[in-house]
A = this chain, B = another copy of it.
């Protein structure tokens, strides 16, 4: 191992995304020839018509009552209350494939009437009070990368829908280098947060695939988990403090790292998806930026052997910083290397990625220990090349969806988490649900899966589905997604590991926690948001 300076995640710019194309326009991707060849092999051809230009999308009339608009403008300044085409289309839904397909087809029925841009916590509270008085629904918007309908609330019963974009809350307001904490406003984009921390030699270490688009507030609101969670933990484990703006006032939580001061109410706010209030600021634990990074590939003969190896590391250590395992299909399709998706892959087996980040001695020790375990568990070392290919390409995957949709393909992902003993049955059940619902009438379907996050007691499973768009891609996909969710629920697993509930997973979430837990959440919502304006229909159904 030669120590190397890390390629800093903080070098990625803060970009303004296209309404339905992912990421930095400068990094937009063509479909690799290998992927096109795969589509050809599956008989997938481009649709007759391309997507509607965002400027040509037809928007619903602005339903915002004039007095509310005037009051919002008085609060925030007229330039921070936008009703123009660009703002409204740019805040229509999130980034799931159904969201994208709807907007590509020119369907902006879920567009907000207006987008407001408060600059302070107090302005957020004031907007919420105003909207509560006037029964105007409010959609909190941070990075806008939801893939579960978290930005498409149920509008019924509301005078209007306003999106509250927190992007002007973009400062690091405090850093405590003794306690290793940083206070970041909700609108600080993920890449900006890393850049701010890197100046002092720190990192958050939170790198979900949405990294180029996500924001701090969204991480907290959706209970995000990053690709380095084996080493850096989940976002909920990084949060030590929160400020929540609600229509009834402010909640400040987190006077200590952990305590026995009653329930941990931070964990009631984290994952509340904008339904209880708008998180305006998050205090997070930070760590020293790593001195060294080493990423390696390993091959296992099959998924069961690979999963057993990951389980040993997760339970008995030593624990890599990144630990992932692709199943046989995903390995064969070569998803781990976005520049070569669909290319002939190394023959057979399952690819695991083990990454180590930290101080040089720590990386060396963990790598030596983990290598011994992986060898003993039947792993075949593939060296740093596949590891580095994965690391280099880790944020490239989502860029491929746009040219893939352009080419007539359909791709979507879903994910779940369960205890180790249930992993094989869960994987079987979800795969079968997707194959049998999508694969009718000879439609080509590829279902790939990887273990994306590990815990001592279990692991997440992340599925990628590749198919043909056809004439009615939503009509084909939505029943398949429902069947997959049914399979997850029937398997006793969680309906989402890190994508969150949104509107898409709501029925299964409610079944997962049961009616008394849902009633408890509703009671909290009624207390903080008595008019029910905050993201109605997200997470929990509106009260009858």
* Chain A contacts to B: CB under 8 angstroms: 176, 178-181, 222-225, 234, 236, 240, 246, 248-253, 255-265, 267-273, 285, 287-288, 311, 315-317, 359, 362, 365, 416-422, 455-458, 492-501, 505, 509, 512-514, 516-517, 519-524, 526-528, 539-540
Nearest Cβ on chain B to A431's Cβ, whole angstroms: 18
CB pair B260–A267 under 8 Å, yes or no, is: no
- Residue numbers in B under 8 Å from A416 (CB-CB): 256
Tell me which of B246, B256, B287, B362 contacts A516 (CB under 8 A): B246
Complexed CA–CA distance, A416 and B392 (Å): 45
Tell me which of B181, B262, B418 contacts A501 (CB under 8 A): B262
Tell me which of B234, B265, B287, B492 contacts A258 (CB under 8 A): B234
Known: A251-B514, A270-B264. A179 touches B509 (CB 8 A): no
CB pair B494–A256 under 8 Å, yes or no, is: yes
CB pair B260–A498 under 8 Å, yes or no, is: yes
CB pair B261–A494 under 8 Å, yes or no, is: yes
Complexed CA–CA distance, A256 and B522 (Å): 23
Nearest Cβ on chain B to A454's Cβ, whole angstroms: 9
CB pair A179–B420 under 8 Å, yes or no, is: yes
CB pair A418–B256 under 8 Å, yes or no, is: yes
Known: A261-B501, A418-B256, A457-B181. A524 touches B513 (CB 8 A): no
CB pair B513–A419 under 8 Å, yes or no, is: no
- Residue numbers in B under 8 Å from A359 (CB-CB): 316
Complexed CA–CA distance, A248 and B123 (Å): 40
Nearest Cβ on chain B to A283's Cβ, whole angstroms: 9
- Residue numbers in B under 8 Å from A234 (CB-CB): 258
Of all A-B residue pairs in the complex, the 9 with the closest CB atoms, nearest first, are A259-B494, A267-B267, A257-B455, A523-B523, A179-B419, A178-B421, A256-B494, A223-B260, A256-B417
